[in-house]
Amino acid sequence: MNESVLFLTTFFLYIISTFFYFAFILAKKDNLARIGFKFALAGLFTHTMALFLRTFESGHAPFTNMYESLSFLAWGSILAYILIERKYNSRNAGPYFMLIVIALMALASSPLMPKEAMPLIPALQSYWLWLHVSVTLIGEAFFAVAFIISIMYLVADTRERQGKIEKLGLSSDKLDFISYKCIAVGFPLFTLGGLIFGMIWAYKAWGRYWSWDPKETWSLITWFVFAIYLHTRIVMGWKGRRSAFIAIIGFLAALFTYFGVNYLLAGLHSYT
Amino acid sequence: MKSVIRSFSSVKLAIVLLIIITIASVLGTFIPQQRSPAEYVSRYGQMANILIKLEFTTLYRSHWFISLLILFGINIIVCTLTRLSQKVKRTFSPQLKKKEKEILVLKTKEKIRKKCDPTKIKDVLKKEFSSKHYHLREEEKENRTYILARKKILGLFGADIVHFGILIILSGGIVSGLGGFRKNLSFSEGEISAFPKANFKLRLDKFETEYYPNGSVRDWKSTLTIIENEKPKITKIIEVNKPLSYKGFVFYQSSCGWDWKNSILEILVKKRSDPAFSKEIRTKLGEKVSLEEENIQISVLHFIPDFVVNEKNEIFSRSLQPNNPAIFLEGWHENEKIFSGWIFARFPDFSRIHSEKETDLHFELKDFKANQFSVIQAAKDPGVNIIWLGSVIVIIGLFLAFYWPTREIRMILEESNGETEIIAGGIAAKNPEALQSDFKEVMSSIRRTN
Ligand code: HEM
C-alpha cells in the first residue's frame, strides 16, 4: 500500500458515502444514512492510515504544503462531522457536509497541487508546526460543520415559516442548537491552535509573537467574528437567523484565512 | 460619570467596537502596510495622500486603531467588573430561600409528596448529591428546608476569566510596543558585535549552512559566544527555531547572506586562435589585472549573484543567492577601453564580449567565493511573558466557559401531617441534557425512600 493509493481509496469511500447520504435524503430511509455513515467511517480509517504513511515517508508533519493541508482539513472535517452526528443525530446534514469534504479532496488531488513531499524550509522545522496547524485545522473543521448546519437552519426556518413541516429529523431549533455546540467546541480549539500556538511558534521562529502578517490578521478576524457570535447570542439573546448569518460569515473568514491569504495576499506565512 | 460607566458596561458597545476593529483589520490586509510613499502614489494615485494622512498605511500602529483597542480594553474592564460583584455574591453567598413559584418556572422541575420524614429524605439527598459531586447547601426556616445543590460552579466564571486573560494580553502588547527592541545583525565568522541597551557583546565563532540533497537550504547554524567584561560567558549553537536567550535578549537565526562585494573571482582566459592557451586569474571587484602577453588590463566592475533583466532592460539581482552569477568585465589597452561585457558562470558559451575592437580573448567565470555571513536578530521583548500568562488564563477561561457547565438544583422540603412535600427544579444553561438526567436520578432516589 502506498500513500496515494490510500488517498484515492479514501476519496472513493467518501464518494460512496455521499451517494448513500443523498439517497437517504431522497428516499427518506434511515438505513441508507447509516450505510453512508459507515462508508464515511471506513474512509476516515483509510485516510488516517494515509496520513500516517505520509508522515512516515516524509519524516515531517502531514500538512506542510497545500495538498497535505487540504487532505488534513478533509480528515478533520470528517472527524468533526462523525462526532457531531453521533452526538446529535444530525444525519440530514450528512449529504451537504460530505459535499464539502469531496470538494476538499478533489482540490487536493487536482493536478494544480504538487504532491511530492518537499524538504522543509528551516522555519517549518519545529514541533510547533504539529501543534499549531493540527489544532487550528480541527477547530476550523468544527466551524465547517457549524457552517453547513447554519445554512440548513436558514432553509429549515424559511420552510417552517411557510408552514411546511420538515418530515425528516431536525427542527430549526435543534439545528440552531447544534450550530452553537459546534462553535462552542471549535472556538476554544481555534483560539488555542490558531492564535496562541501560532504566537508561540512565531516567537520561536521569527522572534516576534505578533507581526500583523495577513495570515495572522485574518485568523484574528475569524476569531472576532465568532466572538461576536458568542456575545450576541449569550448576552443579547440573539438566536436563529442572525446567529446563523454570523456563523456563516465566520466560516467564510476562516476559509479566506486558509485559501485567500495564500493566493491573494503575500506574507510570511505562504508556503514555498 | 455614571452614564460613562453605563455605556462602557454595555455589551452593545463591545459588539460595535468588535465590528469596527474587525473591519479595520480587514482593510489593513488589503492596503499594503509600511511601504514607501512613492509606492502608494503609483498604486492609489490621488488617494495616496489621504490614506497616508489617515494612517491607513500604518494601520495597526495608527493612533486611531490603538485608541480603538484601548477603548475595547476599558469596555472589557468595566463590563466584567460591573457584573462580577453581583455574580460573586450570588455564587458564594447564594440566597437559599426561594419561593415555590421561582422554582416551578424552571424547565426541569417536579413537585411530589412522600409519606416519610424530611430528615430521612435529606439523608438520601446528601448521599445522592455527594455521589454525583454536587456541592450542597441547606437552610431551615419555619419547618421548611431549602436546599441548593450545585456542581462545576467555576464554569460560571469562565467568561470573566477569559476577559481577564484578554486584558493581560492587551497589556502585554502595550509593554512590547513600548519596551521592545529589535535589530538585525550581520556577522562574518570571527566578528564581534555590540548593540544598544546591552552590556555584553556577541561573537560569531562559526557559521554553517546545511543543504538537502536537492540543494535547498535545510538549516543555518551559528555558533555564538556571549562576551561580557571581555570574557567569554556562554557558547551556544543556534538554529532557526532554536534561539539563544541571555539577560532578556533573545538571539534568533534569521537568515544568511554572502559578502558578495568582497568575493574572490576566478576567471579563465582562453584564446580563440590558440586552443592550447589557457590562463587562470584570481581577482577581486575593482582590481586591475594585467595580461602581460597581450598588453591588456582587465578588471571586473560588477558581480551579480542572481542575474535578471526586467522589462525595462534594467539589470538587477533577484536575490542574494548565487542562482545565476554574472560579472561585468572591461578590458583596457593603455588608456583605451577595447571591450566590455557580461559573463555568466552558468552559461560559459553565452558570454559575449561587446568589443570595440575585435579581441581574440574569451573569458569564463570559473569560480567565485565570498564569505557567508550570518544574519542574527537580536530582540528584547519585555511583553512576551505577559502574553504567555494572558494566553494561559484565556485558555483556562475558555475551558471553564465551554467544558465546565455549571449545574444547579434547588429544592424545598416542607413537612405537613406526617408527609413531606418536595418541590424541586434545576437549571444548567450550557448542558441541559446532563442536568435532566441528574435530576431524574435524584428524584427517583427520593421516590424509592420509605
Ligand atoms: C475579543 C474579546 C472577547 C472575547 C474573546 C470574549 C470571550 C467571551 C466568552 C468565551 C464568553 C463565554 C461565552 C459562552 O459562555 O458561551 C463571553 C461571555 C461574555 N462576554 Fe465576552 N469576550 C470578549 C470581549 C467582551 C467585552 C468587550 C465585553 C463587554 C462589554 C464582554 C462581555 C461579555 C459578557 C457580559 C459575557 C457573558 C458573561 C457570562 O455569561 O457570565 N466580552 N465572552
B146: domain CATH number is 3.30.310.80
Residues B285 and B357 in one domain: yes
- Quote the ligand 1 centre to A141 CA distance (angstroms): 23
Number of compact structural domains in chain A: 2
Distance CA A251, CA A259 (A): 12
| Segments forming the whole domain that contains residue A76 | 1-118
Residues B282 and B352 in one domain: yes
In the beta sheet, which residues pair with residue B308? Answer: B316
- For residue B65, tell me if it sits in a domain: yes
A259 alpha-carbon distance from chain centroid: 13
| Segments forming the whole domain that contains residue B30 | 2-84
Query: Which pLDDT value is given to residue B4?
Result: 73
Which long-range contacts link A253-261 to residues 24+ away (Cβ below 8 Å)?
A253/A218, A253/A221, A253/A222, A253/A225, A254/A140, A254/A143, A254/A144, A254/A190, A254/A222, A256/A218, A257/A215, A257/A218, A257/A219, A257/A221, A257/A222, A258/A73, A258/A140, A260/A218, A261/A214, A261/A215, A261/A218, A261/B29
Residue ending a domain, among A83, A118, A153, is: A118
Name the residue facing A119 among B19, B212, B402 (closest C-beta). B212
Helix, strand, coil in percent for chain A, rounding step 5: 80, 0, 20
Residues B9 and B70 in one domain: yes
Task: Name the one residue in this structure whose C-alpha cell is 508546526.
Answer: A129
Residues with CB under 6 A from ligand 1: A 227, 230-231, 234-235; B 11, 14, 72, 75-76, 79, 83, 159, 162-163, 166, 398, 401
Whether residue A136 is predicted with pLDDT greater than 90 in this model: the reply is yes
Residue nearest to atom 28 of ligand 1 (CA): B76
Residues A199 and A246 in one domain: yes
ipTM of the complex: 0.89
Q: Which residues does B60 contact at the CB level (< 8 Å), separation at least 6?
A: A212, A217, B25, B28, B33
Measured between beta carbons, the chain A residues lying within 8 angstroms of B389 are none
Hey, are the CB atoms on A231 and B15 less than 8 Å from each other? yes
- A265 — pLDDT class (breaks 50, 70, 90): low
Residues A267 and A135 in one domain: yes
Could you tell which of A179, A225, A230, A243 is best to mutate to test the pocket of ligand 1, judged by most ligand atoms within 8 Å of the CB? A230
Whether residue B131 is predicted with pLDDT greater than 80 in this model: the reply is yes
Contact between B171 and B386 (Cβ < 8 Å): yes
Residues B364 and B265 in one domain: yes
In the beta sheet, which residues pair with residue B201? Answer: B194, B227
- Quote the ligand 1 centre to B180 CA distance (angstroms): 30
Residues B360 and B285 in one domain: yes
B2 alpha-carbon distance from chain centroid: 38
Residues A125 and A114 in one domain: no
What single-letter amino acid sits at B444?
S
- Quote the ligand 1 centre to B398 CA distance (angstroms): 10
Residue ending a domain, among B84, B111, B126, is: B84
Contact between B190 and B223 (Cβ < 8 Å): no
Measured between beta carbons, the chain A residues lying within 8 angstroms of B159 are 234
Residues A212 and A235 in one domain: yes
Contact between B237 and B221 (Cβ < 8 Å): yes
Residue nearest to atom 43 of ligand 1 (CA): B159
Residues B269 and B361 in one domain: yes
Residues A97 and A138 in one domain: no
Residue nearest to atom 26 of ligand 1 (CA): B76
Measured between beta carbons, the chain A residues lying within 8 angstroms of B253 are 122
Residues B222 and B294 in one domain: no
- For residue B168, tell me if it sits in a domain: no
Percent of chain A at pLDDT above 70? 89
- For residue B395, tell me if it sits in a domain: no
Round the average pLDDT of chain B to a whole number and report it: 85
Distance CA B346, CA A12 (A): 47
Residues A36 and A84 in one domain: yes
Percent of chain B at pLDDT above 90? 18
Distance CA B91, CA B306 (A): 69
Interface test with B, best of A177, A221, A226, A258 (most B CBs within 10 A): A221
Hey, are the CB atoms on B217 and A122 less than 8 Å from each other? yes
B429 alpha-carbon distance from chain centroid: 34
Which parts of B93-192 fold into alpha helices (H)?
100-104, 118-131, 158-179
- For residue B265, tell me if it sits in a domain: yes
B:234-253 residues touching chain A, CB 8 A cutoff: 239-241, 243, 250, 252-253
Which long-range contacts link B5-12 to residues 24+ away (Cβ below 8 Å)?
B5/B78, B5/B82, B8/B74, B8/B75, B8/B78, B8/B79, B9/B78, B9/B79, B9/B82, B9/B83, B10/B79, B11/A231, B11/A235, B11/A236, B11/B79, B12/A236
- For residue B48, tell me if it sits in a domain: yes
What single DSSP character describes residue B191? -
Atom of ligand 1 nearest to the CA of B83: 35
Interface test with B, best of A210, A233, A257, A271 (most B CBs within 10 A): A210
Residues A103 and A148 in one domain: no
What average pLDDT score do residues A101-123 get? Answer: 77
Residues A7 and A92 in one domain: yes
- B175, three cell numbers: 509593554
Whole-model pTM? 0.81
Per DSSP, the three-state class of B422 is strand
Q: Which residues does B149 contact at the CB level (< 8 Å), separation at least 6?
A: B125, B129, B134, B135, B136, B137, B408, B409, B410, B411
Residues A104 and A161 in one domain: no
Contact between A217 and B25 (Cβ < 8 Å): yes
Query: Which pLDDT value is given to residue A11?
Result: 92
What single DSSP character describes residue A270? S
> For A44-58, A93-107, B364-378, which range has the lowest pLDDT when averaged over its residues?
B364-378
Residues B359 and B283 in one domain: yes
What average pLDDT score do residues B208-223 get? Answer: 79
Distance from CA of A16 to the nearest CA of B (A): 34
- Measured between its terminal Cα atoms, the distance across chain B in Å is 61
Could you tell which of B76, B157, B163, B170 is best to mutate to test the pocket of ligand 1, judged by most ligand atoms within 8 Å of the CB? B163
Contact between B155 and B406 (Cβ < 8 Å): yes
Task: Decide which of B258 and B264 is more confident.
Answer: B264
Pick from B343, B333, B349: which is nearest to B365 by CA?
B343
Residue ending a domain, among A118, A141, A176, is: A118
Query: Which pLDDT value is given to residue B98?
Result: 82
Whether residue A270 is predicted with pLDDT greater than 50 in this model: the reply is no
Atom of ligand 1 nearest to the CA of B8: 30
Residue nearest to atom 34 of ligand 1 (CA): A235
Measured between beta carbons, the chain B residues lying within 8 angstroms of A223 are none
Hey, are the CB atoms on B219 and A125 less than 8 Å from each other? yes
Per DSSP, the three-state class of A32 is helix
Residues B265 and B250 in one domain: no
Q: What is the CA radius of gyration of chain B?
A: 39
Number of compact structural domains in chain B: 4
For residue B278, CA distances in Å to A247, B269, B281, B358 come to 74, 6, 10, 19
Residue ending a domain, among A87, A118, A149, is: A118
Residues A135 and A151 in one domain: yes
Residues A231 and A268 in one domain: yes
Residues A111 and A93 in one domain: yes
For residue A207, CA distances in Å to A9, A103, A211, A268, B370 come to 42, 37, 10, 13, 28
Residues B441 and B419 in one domain: yes
- Quote the ligand 1 centre to B159 CA distance (angstroms): 5
Measured between beta carbons, the chain B residues lying within 8 angstroms of A184 are 402
Hey, are the CB atoms on A204 and B243 less than 8 Å from each other? yes
Task: Decide which of B137 and B35 is more confident.
Answer: B137
In the beta sheet, which residues pair with residue B421? Answer: B113, B414
Q: How many residues does chain A have?
A: 272
Query: pLDDT per residue over B158-173, tens digit each?
Result: 999 999 999 999 999 9
Residue nearest to atom 18 of ligand 1 (CA): B159
Query: pLDDT per residue over A193-245, tens digit each?
Result: 999 999 998 888 777 899 898 889 999 999 999 999 999 998 888 888 899 99
In the beta sheet, which residues pair with residue B203? Answer: B192, B225
- Measured between its terminal Cα atoms, the distance across chain A in Å is 29
